[in-house]
Amino acid sequence: MKKTKKINLTMQIVAALILGVIVGLLMQNHQAIANTYIKPFGTIFLNLIKTIVVPLVLFSITQGIISLKDIKKVGAIGGKTIVFYMCTTAFAVTLGLLFANLLQVGKGYILDSSSLVEYTGAEMPSLVDTLVNIFPSNIISPLLNATMLQVIVIALFFGFGIIAVGEKAQPVANFVDSMSEVCIKVMGMIISLSPIGVFGLIVPVIAANGPDVLLPLLKLIIVCYVASIVHMVLVYSGSVKALGKMSPLKFFKHMSPAILFAFTSASSVGTLPFNMECTEKLGVNKEVSSFVLPLGATINMDGTAIYQGVCAIFIAQIFGIDLNLSQQITIILTATLASIGTAGVPGSGVIMLTMVLQSVGLPLEGIGLIAGVDRILDMARTTVNITGDAACSVCVNALEEKKAKKKANN
């Protein structure tokens, strides 16, 4: 009897995505049914992902630090990671501004002020507040609320503590190692359900945002997507080729499950388990990926930076405001710094956009205009964000291996 070939997970996710789009288009007049009977499957899947993400980040980062056995090495990896994230974010917002200006994203749009949603600017966290909020006041609250930056800080301190204690802390190190393996195994079980989750997530989005709703803001969506694709092809292909010494085709092929899930779920943290599995297949050492990826899911926002640049020009043009070069440079600096400054803040994308608009005196009412299609834009920016995290892990891993090889030769 001939064996039937098993369809791989990527193809299952693609099939679920296509089926979800078709069903969503057919259910445009039956949104209540889509929300009542299909959306819960997506919600359950996301809840399962969220359940495993916090323990996975906590134990994997702690395990990664323990495996490095040297606090200086953690600092070296952290330094390379932050520099990579800051540089790519600055390039991303510049690219967003360039495409928005060249394609005149807001020109020809007839503004109906009565259709604007009144928007009150989100309060911008001060530098001191941002710094204070990074450090938790207790160990339980960040784990309960999934405050990822605080979870990372907890993992860092416990990892450093275990290294400092040495042999006496070996039982704790063994426990962390075992728990990390358990989390990875549970993660694998949940990931196998992703086609069902993808279908449940995409159908309500398509049903609610059919072509009729998207047409008025179609140019904004197209410009954001084009800039996102160009950034992924140019920056990430270039960096994995030049720094990671890896074929871009190999990179994107192995990253496809994570990219597809990020596009569907619009959740960087939710995609983290997929990202860790994909980078492992790309040959990234666990000690690197377990540090770089959770940090990236929290502070690396290349996709969001592109969105800031495009939306700032869009809002300026529909209100008939011309932004000069110095104002656009201000947008680049604000968006780059805000990507870290708003890390861990709920609704950080909107807070970032508020900060960017305020920095150059643009009306905040424009955010209400974009709000109707924000979910569609969020799918693109999340995809770019997580791909950037993976590209960084590949590059940092290659640089660390090169450094170790050089040290061994010497």
| pLDDT given for residue 212 in this prediction | 54
On the question of pLDDT at 285 being above 50, the answer is yes
| pLDDT given for residue 30 in this prediction | 85
On the question of pLDDT at 130 being above 70, the answer is no
Q: Averaged over 150-167, what is the pLDDT?
A: 86
Specify the residue for token string 């296509």. 18
Q: Which helix or strand (DSSP H or E) is residue 231 part of?
A: helix 218-231
- How far apart CA 233 and CA 285 sit, in angstroms, is 24
In this structure, the number of other CB atoms found within 10 A of the CB of residue 87 comes to 13
Structure tokens at 137: 């006041």
Q: Averaged over 383-410, what is the pLDDT?
A: 89
- How far apart CA 254 and CA 229 sit, in angstroms, is 17
Per residue in 33-55, pLDDT (tens digit) is 888 888 899 888 878 877 887 88
Note whether 279 and 389 are within 8 A (CB). no
Per residue in 305-359, pLDDT (tens digit) is 898 899 889 888 887 888 888 888 888 887 777 666 555 444 556 667 777 887 7
In this structure, the number of other CB atoms found within 10 A of the CB of residue 407 comes to 8
On the question of pLDDT at 138 being above 60, the answer is yes
Please indicate whether residue 159 or residue 10 has the higher confidence score (pLDDT). Answer: 159
Please indicate whether residue 245 or residue 267 has the higher confidence score (pLDDT). Answer: 245
pTM of the model: 0.71
Per residue in 62-76, pLDDT (tens digit) is 887 787 676 777 777
- How far apart CA 258 and CA 268 sit, in angstroms, is 10
Q: Is 203 left (phi over 0), alpha (psi -120 to 50) or beta?
A: alpha
| pLDDT given for residue 175 in this prediction | 94
Of 106-115, 150-159, 240-249, 315-324, the range with the lowest mean pLDDT is 106-115
